[in-house]
Amino acid sequence: MRALVDAIRAQGTVLPGGILKVDGLINHQLLPQLTREMGETFAQTFRPLKPSKVVTIEVSGIAPALATAMVLGVPMVYARKKRPVTMQGSVYTAQSVSRTKGGVVELFISHEFLGSQDRVVVIDDFLASGGTLLALADMIRESGAQLLGLGCVVEKAFEHGRANLASLGVPVRTLANIVRMDEGGTLVVEAGH
Ligand SMILES: O=P(O)(O)OC[C@H]1O[C@H](OP(=O)(O)OP(=O)(O)O)[C@H](O)[C@@H]1O
Ligand SMILES: O=c1[nH]c(=O)c2nc[nH]c2[nH]1
């Protein structure tokens, strides 16, 4: 996605610990036009698979996932990282590691909004190690829903998430690919695939 690659080249900075800061377009401020194009691109990729639901994880996955769900005309459900009092009854849970806040987080999705009738596409902001998407895939498997595909806005190819997700046997689509980056100012970005 050309506009996304250009925006990352213009605004992206590299922080210690191998973290790419793109807070101006994905993780703090959101650009509606760019987010809409993310949704249109993911929808074009996944529409032929006839998804009935888009699933993501709070917080940064919500914007691209909602943009995708709006184009597809299906509901979007996000896994919560803290169980609120409104989430009564049975839940699917899994654990993941937060890359930007540190520590292990528990993920929760209510049985109310995910079940064996669902055909699911997962959308998130970053694909790094793939650990978060594997945790989400576990919850989807437990629900009996069918996982159709995975879409992430930014892939950090050097963290090998794509290979770690291969066992899921579903297509993985990303919109921008970070080939190389370091704190010295190197930031090599190309279109995703
Ligand atoms: O492929 P992985 O190694 O699992 O990394 C990707 C995950 O890391 C981030 O979550 P984080 O909790 O850091 O951020 P967020 O709250 O902004 O969504 C990001 O949103 C992905 O969900
Ligand atoms: O803002 C972010 N930058 C990153 O490099 C990253 N990797 C996983 N999750 C991430 N979030």
* Atom of ligand 1 lying closest to residue 98 CA: 12
Domain count, the chain: 1
Ligand number nearest to the C-alpha of 161 = 1
Residues with CB under 6 A from ligand 2: 19-20, 27, 99-100, 126, 128, 156
Is residue 159 assigned to a domain? yes
Is residue 44 assigned to a domain? yes
Ligand 1 centroid – CA 155 distance (Å): 11
Structure tokens at 42: 């993911």
Is residue 126 assigned to a domain? yes
Q: Provide the ipTM.
A: 0.97
Radius of gyration of the chain (CA): 16
To the question of whether residue 56 is assigned a binding role by annotation, the answer is no
Is residue 109 assigned to a domain? yes
Is residue 189 assigned to a domain? no
pLDDT in tens, the chain (193 residues): 999 999 999 999 999 999 999 999 999 999 999 999 999 999 999 999 999 999 999 999 999 999 999 999 999 999 999 999 999 999 999 999 988 888 999 999 999 999 999 999 999 999 999 999 999 999 999 999 999 999 999 999 999 999 999 999 999 999 999 999 999 989 999 999 9
Is residue 24 assigned to a domain? no
The domain that contains 123 carries what CATH number? 3.40.50.2020
Structure tokens at 135: 């945790």
* Atom of ligand 1 lying closest to residue 129 CA: 3
C-alpha distance from residue 18 to each of 132, 159, 181, 183 (Å): 17, 10, 8, 8
pTM value? 0.98
DSSP H or E segment with residue 42: helix 32-46
Q: Are strands 91-97 and 76-79 parallel, antiparallel or unpaired?
A: unpaired
C-alpha distance from residue 160 to each of 41, 155, 178 (Å): 23, 9, 11
CA distance 111 to 126: 26
To the question of whether residue 20 is assigned a binding role by annotation, the answer is yes
CA distance 2 to 28: 21
Is residue 192 assigned to a domain? no
Domain of 131, in residue numbers: 40-177
Ligand 2 centroid – CA 190 distance (Å): 17
